[in-house]
Amino acid sequence: MAEEKESPKSEMIGGLDELGRLNELRGRLEIKVMGYEDGSCISEFEGANLIDKEYLQQLRVEGYGGMRFPSWVSHLSNLVSIVLEDCGRLKHIPPLDGIPSLKELTIGGMDDLEYIDSEGVGGKEASTFFPSLKRLEMWECGRLKGWWKRWNRDEMNDDSDESTIEEGLIMLSFQRLSSLHIQDCPNLTSMPLFPTLDEDLSLRSTSSMPLQQTMKMTSPVSSSSSSFTRPLSKLKELHMFSIDDMESLPEVGLQNLSSLQRLGIHACPRLKSMPLPDQGMHSLKKLDVGGCRELKSLSESESQGMIPYLPSLQLLRIDYCSEELSGRARGWGKDREEEWPNIKHIPDIVIDWKCIKKEGRYVKG
């Protein structure tokens, strides 16, 4: 289906090889592959060379049955948005990082995909690595291990050096990324880091390792940077759900979240430590933690109590965590307010689905 941005939507049903002959193709192109269960569309798709379609800005491909995506997609220099989904047999994607205008990338429903970039990291420069990318979504890629095969920890050779891997990941960090969503990619442990996020980060049923690595960054994103901005210092929302490998988050990384307004952590069964700082998180308005049975405290030290003083916090919610956390929290109330000086300013408090405080007033019963 071909769609022009400035004209009514038009549809075309025909062979994929006919796309190359559409001389006026511009705006948005959506390709849904149907009726090719035997994989006969592969040669047609390769033949649908769109390199000369200079006005094409959005490309969406759904249901492609090949193992390797055509190389011509790397040369569509004016693309702003790429969506590749439900291509269940796809194993190889050509490099997309050099498309200068690409702002949004979505990759989902790729059952066999193990690496995003099949050609490795050789020869890539930080200045030309996804120079415009603002939004990245990856979902339901169950076998996805990493961005490049060379840096996947499970397949490192004996000569591989951990520091070399970290340096490479930092060198090719996303420079302009604002929003990152990863869902149902449980084996994804290695990818370019994302210190510049300034909107939201959502991780669901995936590994915490890329986040841990990003939080620990101590050098600039690129050698041309004149100053170092603390990683994730502009992030506004962080949501984590069902992160099975996360036992804690680095204290120094949490201290950097000075712009964070919403923090949600749910169903992380191994999470034991969440040392929220009493200095630095002045913007946090909503803290929602649930289903973390091993989590005993939300503070850096015992002297702070179970939760540090967060001056802007409007909603505190703790549901079904450890008895040390949820059990003690159930005892909060007006008659014990002085025992909990760090939370008495919070207008809304919910513990184990029970409202303790609503709009600044304690709820009886």
Q: What is the pLDDT of residues 22-44, one digit of tens each?
A: 555 556 677 676 545 555 566 66
| Mean pLDDT, rounded, for 334-363 | 84
Category of 140 on φ-ψ map: left (φ > 0), alpha (ψ -120 to 50) or beta: left
In one-letter notation, the amino acid at residue 18 is E
Instruction: From residue 221, give the alpha-carbon distance in Å to each of 169, 214, 298.
Output: 10, 11, 30
Confidence band of 363 (pLDDT split at 50, 70, 90): confident
Question: What is the pLDDT at residue 149?
Answer: 80
Residue 296: closest CA among 264, 257, 270:
270
Q: What is the pLDDT of residues 184-243, one digit of tens each?
A: 999 999 999 999 999 999 999 999 999 999 999 886 655 445 556 899 999 999 999 999
β strands within 211-285, DSSP E: 237-241, 262-266
Q: Considering only residues 13 and 90, tell me which one the structure prediction assigns the higher pLDDT.
A: 90
Residue 150: closest CA among 118, 173, 123:
118
Q: What is the pLDDT of residues 128-186, one digit of tens each?
A: 899 999 999 999 999 999 998 865 554 444 444 455 455 555 567 999 999 999 999 99
Question: What is the pLDDT at residue 66?
Answer: 84
Question: What is the pLDDT at residue 158?
Answer: 46
DSSP lists the bridge partners of residue 60 as 30, 83
Question: String of b and e for 307-329 (b: at least 16 CB within 10 Å)?
Answer: bbbbeebeebbbbbbbeebbebb
Task: Tell me the two tokens of residue 125.
Answer: 């420069």
Neighbours of 333 (CB within 10 A): 15
In one-letter notation, the amino acid at residue 341 is P
**Which residues lie below 8 Å from residue 257, measured CB to CB, with a gap of 6+?**
232, 233, 235, 238, 263, 280, 281, 284
What are the backbone angles phi and psi of residue 197, rounded to the nearest 5°?
A: -50, 130
pLDDT at 263 over 90: yes
Confidence band of 4 (pLDDT split at 50, 70, 90): very low
Q: What is the pLDDT of residues 110-126, one digit of tens each?
A: 999 999 987 667 667 78
Category of 96 on φ-ψ map: left (φ > 0), alpha (ψ -120 to 50) or beta: alpha
Residue 56: closest CA among 4, 129, 105:
4
Question: What is the pLDDT at residue 215?
Answer: 94
C-alpha torsion sign, points 196, 186, 260, 82: positive
Question: What is the pLDDT at residue 41?
Answer: 61
Q: Considering only residues 336 and 193, tell me which one the structure prediction assigns the higher pLDDT.
A: 193
Task: Tell me the two tokens of residue 297.
Answer: 């405290």
What integer best gives the mean pLDDT of the chain?
Answer: 82
Say if residues 359 and 347 touch (Cβ distance below 8 Å).
Answer: yes
Percent of the chain whose predicted confidence (pLDDT) is above 90: 48
Question: What is the pLDDT at residue 48?
Answer: 63
pLDDT at 100 over 50: yes
